[in-house]
Structure 1
Amino acid sequence: MLFSIHAHAEQAQPRVLFINPGYATESFWQDVDEYANAAASALNVDLTIRHADRNHFAVRQILAATLSKPTHPDYIIIVNEKLAAKNLLPILSKYPIYVQLILNDVDQQTKTQLYQDPHWQQYLLPSIIPNNHAIGYAIAEAMVRAGDNAPGEAVMISGDLTTPASVKREAGGKRFFVERSDITLHQVVHGQWDESISQEQMHTLLQRYPNVRYVWTANDHMAFGAMKAARQAGKTPGDDIYFATVNTSERVLSLREKGDISALGGGHFKAAGLALSRIYAHDKGWSLPQQCTGQLFHLIEPGSAFFLQLREQAWDQISFLNMAKGIESHCHSTTTKMDN
């Protein structure tokens, strides 16, 4: 799917392409799009969003189609899902296009090599990466706290084996269970972010470990699938089995409010909107910090101000211009422990 925002401008608008690796109808990526569109409208940025529909080969096809046109974007926002940047950056090194990585970064060795290249010294902007390890740990901890800190058995349904966010989120959850000697983590499986796959996996896990008390999942769709399997097995979420997950869809917010989901993390959908604020600042010639995690991840509690904001999704009320003007303080002084 293709979205464009064309605002009235007295001067040339920065042209930005965001290659979204997910589906336009997928809850998390839909939230990413809506927040980014609100930022683009507020900042007078010409934003185009193209979706790869969870096909990392399609990401390269979208880029090739873009570069084959006579007019190119000034900036491209890339999510390094399934390590896609490894194939995309060599192609882009031939073009005067600024690249902004969000959500999944390249490894440090690759980044060091890139910054030795004069082209990337100029055209690679500092990445915007939330702390997935911290939120993975935090939702596990909150889930067990909701279960009265009782000892028991646990399983984890992670995302995939290669995407950096998935790997680090999983590592955070594992670290919590390692520290809790009274909780036995039986198995980690990978549900590929998919509800139906997760449901099948949870069905098998419950056959192997019928007394599982804690179920950690890397995203809401996999939580939904796992909860279906648990109910089919006669278990009651929030009572005799507890679930933790990440994301901020309306469905998962409702389940968190009801208590069926015991621990929820989210907020990283703001990454593309923050990227547009940084791009706006860069286009104006303002300085950018060398590293930015921003205040992206939070534990989401029903009744909190952030919970209500997520429910309303009134992103047009956010001052993205003030965010751009204060981008350095946004990246550092307001950074929480979770996002360091």
Structure 2
Amino acid sequence: MLKALYRCLCLCFALPLSASAQPVSVVFLNPGSPDETFWTSYSRFMQSAADELGMDLRVEYGERRTDLALSQARAALDGPRRPDYLVLVNEQYIAPEIMRLSQGAGVKLLLVNNGLTPSQARAVSARPDKFAQPLGSLTTNDEQAGFQMLREMIAQLPATSGPVDLVAFSGVKTTPASQRREEGMRRALADFPQVRLRQVVYGGWSRQRAYEQARFLLERYPQTRLVWSANDEMAFGAMQAFEEAGLKPGKDVMFSAVNSSGEALRARLDGRLSVLMGGHFSLGGWAMVMLYDDAHGLPFGRDGLRNYSLPVLQSIDQAKAGQWLKRLELADHGVDFKAYSAIGRTAGYQYPFLTSPVEY
């Protein structure tokens, strides 16, 4: 009788505790601005995952300012709403300093999009007393995307064309993703001696800056017929300069870009963009799935890996561009995030998004 009463009391007290349990909390230090289409779509996809998984997500926009990002990191780590997880991007090589600030804070770190450089990784791992060691990183197939983007443009050239001039708009020298896309472009270039890379400029991901640079490049290289861009904003800035010079995108000059904004998808549909790579906006959402599992007893990197490169960047043809435009109208792109969780799966379960792109 007493034992039965005891079990009943335990059950009664246990129910309110589980009901009032705090959701897994995440702060994402978004390096972009609230008016940047890519980074807002990135946060939106993360938020969709958080909502479906019952997680608490807070997004802080660093507006591409390292001083602001560091202030936001300090506030998250020292403030009254200290999160369970801090998700950050190694934009402008800022990650080690945030890891130093995180030492001893009891907050788990995860890098997305831009992981540590090899030299940073060595320095951080050599001083666990100084730097909080991150769970790992999720990066994208940027090098392959840069490679494929140029090859697809060249494949569209007339078979009889002679030497072809190419100009390229890279992002930022201190951003690993930008570096890898450029490396991929240069790797592809080695297979096509008829394509002459006239100049690489760093547009800082900015439409206006790329527009100004393109006007100068077009004066210097008036025979340019291929324009490779590491994001859509720079592609559109360059496109404006070429259009003002009387050249028609997709006919007189071929443009390529990375990102799947509505504007980019429409430009791919109407042929102004000859090649488009996109899908990496989803990386933060997949990070949320893995952090959710980590918080529920399925540790990040339990397969022995810590740093993952996901094949999220994929070529978007015109048919896919139409499909993705429709998906943009859905808050979660029609994704069932819970279906990707490892909770309740067999021990050997592998996240599908680690090995192949998710179709939207």
Which stretch has the larger CA shift, 88-97 or 322-331?
322-331
| Aligned-partner Cα distance in 1 for 2:311–2:182 | 20
Number of corresponding residues: 328
1:169 correspondence with 2:181: yes
Aligned with 1:198 (options 193, 198, 210): 210
User: Partner amino acid for 1:31?
Assistant: S
Q: Which residue does 1:250 correspond to in 2?
A: 262
User: Partner amino acid for 2:296?
Assistant: K
CA contact (8 A) 1:52 1:59 kept: yes
1:302 correspondence with 2:318: yes
CA contact (8 A) 1:250 1:311 kept: no
Instruction: Report SS of the residue matched to 2:29.
Output: strand
User: Following TM superposition, by how much is the alpha carbon of 1:166 offset from its aligned partner in structure 2, in angstroms?
Assistant: 0.6
Q: TM-score, normalised by structure 1?
A: 0.90
1:59 correspondence with 2:81: no
User: Following TM superposition, by how much is the alpha carbon of 1:312 offset from its aligned partner in structure 2, in angstroms?
Assistant: 2.0
Aligned with 1:180 (options 177, 192, 212): 192
1:328 correspondence with 2:355: no
| Aligned-partner Cα distance in 1 for 2:19–2:248 | 55
Q: TM-score, normalised by structure 2?
A: 0.85
CA contact (8 A) 1:99 1:125 kept: yes
Cα-to-partner distance string for 1:8-41 (whole Å, 9 max, x where unaligned): 9653211100010101121100110110110000
- Aligned-pair identity in percent equals 29
Mapping 1:25-174, distance limit 5 Å: 25-115=35-125, 124-148=134-158, 150-151=161-162, 152-174=164-186
CA contact (8 A) 1:97 1:123 kept: no
Instruction: Report SS of the residue matched to 2:190.
Output: helix
Distance change in 2, residues 1:195/1:9 (3 Å): farther
Cα-to-partner distance string for 1:277-299 (whole Å, 9 max, x where unaligned): 11001001114332322331101
CA contact (8 A) 1:156 1:216 kept: yes
User: Following TM superposition, by how much is the alpha carbon of 1:91 offset from its aligned partner in structure 2, in angstroms?
Assistant: 0.7
Instruction: Report SS of the residue matched to 1:292.
Output: strand
CA contact (8 A) 2:27 2:85 kept: yes
User: Following TM superposition, by how much is the alpha carbon of 1:146 offset from its aligned partner in structure 2, in angstroms?
Assistant: 2.5
User: Partner amino acid for 2:76?
Assistant: T
User: Following TM superposition, by how much is the alpha carbon of 1:67 offset from its aligned partner in structure 2, in angstroms?
Assistant: 2.7
Q: Which residue does 1:5 correspond to in 2?
A: none
User: Partner amino acid for 1:328?
Assistant: Q
Q: Which residue does 2:293 correspond to in 1?
A: 281
User: Following TM superposition, by how much is the alpha carbon of 1:328 offset from its aligned partner in structure 2, in angstroms?
Assistant: 2.8
Distance change in 2, residues 1:235/1:316 (3 Å): closer
| Aligned-partner Cα distance in 2 for 1:334–1:196 | 35
CA contact (8 A) 1:292 1:331 kept: no
User: Following TM superposition, by how much is the alpha carbon of 1:116 offset from its aligned partner in structure 2, in angstroms?
Assistant: 5.1
Which stretch has the larger CA shift, 32-41 or 86-95?
86-95
| Aligned-partner Cα distance in 2 for 1:329–1:15 | 22
| Aligned-partner Cα distance in 2 for 1:248–1:316 | 12
Distance change in 2, residues 1:247/1:316 (3 Å): closer
Instruction: Report SS of the residue matched to 1:153.
Output: strand
Instruction: Report SS of the residue matched to 1:303.
Output: helix
Which stretch has the larger CA shift, 308-317 or 161-170?
308-317
User: Following TM superposition, by how much is the alpha carbon of 1:239 offset from its aligned partner in structure 2, in angstroms?
Assistant: 0.3
User: Partner amino acid for 2:269?
Assistant: E
Larger radius of gyration: 2
1:234 correspondence with 2:246: yes
Which stretch has the larger CA shift, 171-180 or 133-142?
171-180
Q: Which residue does 1:222 correspond to in 2?
A: 234
Distance change in 2, residues 1:264/1:284 (3 Å): same
CA contact (8 A) 1:294 1:330 kept: no
User: Partner amino acid for 2:217?
Assistant: L
Q: Which residue does 2:327 correspond to in 1?
A: 312
Name stretches of at least 5 consecutive residues in structure 1 with no aligned partner. Answer: 1-7
User: Following TM superposition, by how much is the alpha carbon of 1:309 offset from its aligned partner in structure 2, in angstroms?
Assistant: 3.4
Which stretch has the larger CA shift, 322-331 or 26-35?
322-331
